[in-house]
Amino acid sequence: MTHALDVNSRYDSLIQYCCKELSGKDVPIPWTLVKAMVEVGSHFDPLYDSPQGRGLMALPELVVQEYKLRTTDVFNVEKNLELGVLHLRRLLYRLGDIPSYEERYACALAAYVSSLEYVSKSLAYARDQEGLPASFKAWRTESRKQGQWQEWSHVKRYLLPASVEMPFEPTRVVAYVDRVVEVYQSYRS
């Protein structure tokens, strides 16, 4: 199977630079993970524009609005990539109670393509199904018990159905995460 790692390397040095400069000290951001996000999200098209995302990193509209990115900057490769990596770093930090990097990457990808609130509610539901406090604050102060709720293969079964408040289609979120993880793993081998 040929991936863009072999045929499309024009953004590699920029992705590597952004990941090196913007990775958190406690959670590294592998450049191949970001490259997999670019391949799956925008197919390396810096002018990508769809309801799912915009620009090279396929930035979700919620992210563009939250960071107050100007429309002209959305399609600027450097600014788009920088914001995408910064946002991913923020998500990885916020999901810090998932000890495995690989599982945290998967949950952060789900939050990237939907929202942190959506993934947090799904994690709470998964914790509750294991008999742990659904509230993150209560879990953190009472038990801190590790469990399957911290594994993507388990969490994805508890993604909430789309609603007015959370308009994210679980099957789309799962498909995105699983595809990015698959491409990321192929880059690593």
149-154 — which CB contacts under 8 Å span 24+ positions? 149/123, 150/97, 150/98, 150/99, 150/100, 150/103, 151/100, 151/103, 152/103, 152/106, 152/107, 152/110, 152/177, 152/181, 154/126
The class that CATH gives domain 9-94 is mainly alpha
**Domain locations in the chain as residue ranges:** 9-94, 95-189
In 3D, which of 102, 119, 100, 125 has the Cα closest to residue 174? 119
Question: Dihedral sign, CA of 114, 146, 153, 157?
Answer: negative
pLDDT at 164: 66
Which pLDDT tens digit goes with each residue over 123-164? 888 888 888 777 777 777 776 778 888 889 988 998 888 776
| Two tokens, residue 158 | 């508890």
Joined together, the tokens standing for residue 71 give 């429309």
Residue-wise pLDDT tens digits, 106-121: 999 999 999 999 998 8
The pLDDT value recorded for residue 189 is: 83
pLDDT tens readout for residues 82-96 = 999 999 999 999 998
**How are beta strands 53-54 and 49-50 bridged, if at all?**
antiparallel
Query: Cα–Cα–Cα angle for 175, 81, 83, nearest 5°?
Result: 95
